[in-house]
Every structure is written in C-alpha cells, then in structure tokens.
Amino acid sequence: MKPFQIYNSLHRAVEEFVPLRPGIVTFYSCGPTVYLPQHLGNMRAYVFVDTLRRALRFNGYDVRHVMNITDVGHMTSDADAGEDKIEKTARAQGKSPREVADFYIAQFKRDCASLNIELPPAAPAGDHPAPPQSALCRATDNIDAMIAVIGRIVANGYGYVTPSGVYFDVEKWRGPGGAGRLARQSLAEQHAGQRLEHSPDKKSPHDFALWVLNQPHHLMQWDSPWGRGYPGWHIECSAMSMKYLGETLDLHSGGLDHIPVHHENEIAQSESATGHPFARYFVHNAFLVGMEGAKISKSAGRFPVLDDLIAAGINPLAFRVLCLGAKYRSELAFSIDSVRAAEKNIDYLNEFARNLNETALSSEQDADWTAEYAERFCEALNNDLNTPQALATVLEMVAQAYRLRDQRIWNTLQNFDDVLGLDLKKKLFESSTGLEPPEISRLVKEREEARERKDFARSDELRNQLDAMGYLVKDTKKGSVVTAKRSAT
C-alpha cells in the first residue's frame, strides 16, 4: 500500500508521513471555544480532524489524539484585545462562565455524535498523565500546566513580567527581521493593516500575553507566581499538548486562520520553553463559505448550525458527505441545496446496506473484483487525504455491485466506512418495519459484553434467543452483524 502522505504547512509540500515512534502517532487538534454553538464552518474542521485520524488508523497507526476545549482566555480579537469570549456571553446571559461553557460543550458533543465524529475521552481535572495518551481537555482544568510552561519560558529569557501581565518577547525569539515559520512573513508583514493594542508596559506591540494580571473584574482568576490573573489563549495549546502527548508532536491541525498568529505563537512559546521542535507536521483545513464566497464565522452574525439542517429534515451525515466531497485544503461552498445533493449519496449507500442479502453478509471474503476498488480507495486516501476520490470509489463499487448483481462487497465497504464514518453498519439493524426494538438492542449489547468477557456459553444463549426473536447474528472480524430475518414482521 502506498505510504500515507499529507500536506505539511511547515514546508508547503505534500510529504510522506513518518511519526517519531514507529506505529504511534501523537496528534493535537485545536478544539472549540465554547461561548456560542459551533457553526457548520467549525464542524467542517472537526469532520476533517476525525477523517484524518481515521485515515491514520486505517494505515495501521495507533493514534493518540488530544483536543482542547477553550473555556477561558480567548479574547474577541483572537489576540489580546477585547473581552474574553466566554465572559462576554456569561454577562449577556446572566450566567457564570462555567455554566456557559458546560452548556456549549454539551451541544458540541451532541453535534459531534450526530456527525459520527469520534472525540477523545474526557480528561479528568487534576490528572497526571503519562504521555502519550488521548484526551479531550478543558483549559480551566489545566491552569497548573500552563503556569509551569510559562515559568520555563520566563526562566529561558523569552518571557517578561510587567504590571499588566507576563508577555512573550516575540522579537527576541525571531531575531531582527525574522519571519514566522508557518506564515513566512516578517512581523511588519504579518500585522500590516492591523491596529495592534500596545500596552505601555509591553516591549513591542507584537508581544502576546502568556498570563494576564490586574484585571479585577474578570470573572475567572487563578493564583500564579506573578500574581492573580488568567492565561492568554495561545498558552493552553502548548501546555495541554505537551502534558498529554510530550514535548514534540507528530501532527498538529487547525484552520488556515490559525497559521499567522495562533500557531506561530504556539511554536514560539513551546520551543522557547523546551528547546525541542514543537510539531513535525502542521496540517490546515480551508474554510466553509457561503454561496457568495464569504467565510462562515460567528463574527459575521447569523451563522448556520447543525440544528438548522436537522430542522429542515436533513440527515446530519449528509453534511459529513458534503465535507468529504471536497479536498480539505479547498474552500467548500455551503447551501441547503448542496447538502440535499450530498444526502442523495448517503441515501444511496444506506439503501444498499439495508438490503444486503444473507449470502453477502455471511461471506468471509468479498468478490475478487472488489480488490481493484480497495486499491483505488487506499491510493486516494494516502494521496493527501483525497476524500472526494475515495468517496467516488465507494459509490462506483456499489454501482458495480448492482450492475453485476453481486453483493459480496460488505467487508470492503465496512473497511471504507471505517474512514468515511457514514455509519452504514447501523442500516443492518433495520427491518421492513423500522429500527430494531429496544429489547433487541439490549440483547445485542449484552452479547457483545459476554464475548468481551469470553463468556461464550452466555454469548451462544443470547444468539439463540435473538434467532428465536427473528434476528440473525453473524460474528465478523469487525464485530457482530445483526440483521432481521426477511420473514420477520
């Protein structure tokens, strides 16, 4: 199989992906700031992250994935100016910052579940991980880790303390006229046209806050060696990525808008603290735009969210198909019509899965002709995550199955769906009368648990019970497949 290749923003080239540790990938992705619902532009980024992680797993890697949740420190300017986004919403809604964050975290998780996005396990507050390990982690649960990294930056001479905060000395880090490693722009070029806030005690308007002091009205405050305050936005990603994954990451993802400021600042503060390279591959996704070409963002006012699609009667996974139908590095135009067009593809695949015959399901090996499609799928996937070509290959394989009247493609189709994340296996639980009854779901789950315990006697009992109730159980390498008998009513 062709090695996995991905576009590395550090070198502006498609490169073969080679992790530091054979077989293990450390992957950090920038997560949500939880002050409003995540709009569909945000969700495109998370679909991309999920697909990239699945593609790496498809290639045999053990992926240790960390995603942050920003619930403090992200200012309305995306730099150091303006209000804290969480606090702004909290004051407007008459709630505490924690209540606001909890509400939008829950909504984010529901949206991810609707799009079949697999999130890392939630990290408990105050844990002491042994990296590398996966985690979904909140900024407010990791203040100590941020303070520790800031302390290293200050000790190494790249941070300085003033009455208003602890700042990173950008010009000292870059050197005279130094360009950013990702944006490849000098500081003057990077900030051309911007009105930079210049606190009187900052050495340079380009310096950014690591820790903010003397803001008595800020609702979230913690003690630190420099005084009571709160962290800047950028430091959380450095601190949490190193806490859970180690000081050098294999892979770091984010949106294109993160390149000139957020990710440049992450590199600077991380490497000044550790003396090691921060991330070996940076991968960035392009924006979701409206039909008029404008980026979909919260600052634009009204923005589409997943609930809008659900309210319109659209399968949420149609949006996932829409995202898969475009290269992650290309802008994707959004409209209700474009999602409805994508929904036709998910309906086509679901219908095929729902009507698979028992011969196809019971076959240990797929038809020989599927090998060509498997090769094409891998070729597309490993060529800079070419999901449009991979999706087209899947649709063509199903069309060929119809033409040949040969449904023996289920194992291959499941392998493809492990990457695409369209949850086709669920359609096997549907009968002519609809979804399986709750009792069947309970018995299937109980049988899976018995098999995990290696209690095969109980597993066989439950299989027989399901059979008597009109459901066939087929154990495969990918788990149990349960289908309603065609005679069942």
Question: In this structure, what CATH number is given to the domain that contains residue 331?
Answer: 1.20.120.640
Examine the domain organization and report whether 257 and 343 are in the same domain: no
- The whole domain housing 249 covers 16-285
Whether 489 is covered by a domain: the verdict is: no
Say yes or no to pLDDT of 489 above 50: no
* Beta-bridge mates of residue 15: 6
Which of 253, 285, 317 is the last residue before a domain boundary? Answer: 285
* Beta-bridge mates of residue 237: none
Say yes or no to pLDDT of 102 above 80: yes
Q: Find out whether 100 and 26 touch, Cβ atoms under 8 Å.
A: no
Binned at pLDDT 50, 70 and 90, residue 193 comes out as very low
Residues sharing a CB contact under 8 Å with residue 148, sequence separation 6 or more, in sequence order: 239
The whole-chain average pLDDT of the chain stands at 89
Whether 337 is covered by a domain: the verdict is: yes
Least confident range of 34-38, 221-225, 389-393: 34-38
3-state secondary structure of 270: helix
Examine the domain organization and report whether 234 and 271 are in the same domain: yes
pTM for the model: 0.86
Examine the domain organization and report whether 409 and 441 are in the same domain: no
Rounded to 5 degrees, φ, ψ at 160 are -140, 150
Whether 7 is covered by a domain: the verdict is: no
Examine the domain organization and report whether 422 and 436 are in the same domain: no
**What mean pLDDT do residues 337-361 have?**
91
Say yes or no to pLDDT of 25 above 90: yes
Say yes or no to pLDDT of 487 above 50: no
Q: Encode burial over 234-268: b for 16+ CB neighbours within 10 A, e otherwise.
A: bbbbbbbbbbbbbbbbbbbbbbeebbbbbbbbbbb
Examine the domain organization and report whether 82 and 46 are in the same domain: yes
* Beta-bridge mates of residue 249: 279
Which of 285, 317, 346 is the last residue before a domain boundary? Answer: 285
Q: Find out whether 457 and 471 touch, Cβ atoms under 8 Å.
A: no
**E strands of 372-451, at which residues?**
430-431, 434-435
Predicted pLDDT at 170: 93
Whether 349 is covered by a domain: the verdict is: yes
Examine the domain organization and report whether 224 and 367 are in the same domain: no
Whether 3 is covered by a domain: the verdict is: no
Whether 228 is covered by a domain: the verdict is: yes
Binned at pLDDT 50, 70 and 90, residue 81 comes out as low
Examine the domain organization and report whether 309 and 265 are in the same domain: no
Q: Number of folded domains in the chain?
A: 3
Look at 284 and 360; give whichever has higher pLDDT.
284
Whether 8 is covered by a domain: the verdict is: no
Whether 2 is covered by a domain: the verdict is: no
3-state secondary structure of 480: strand
* Beta-bridge mates of residue 282: 252
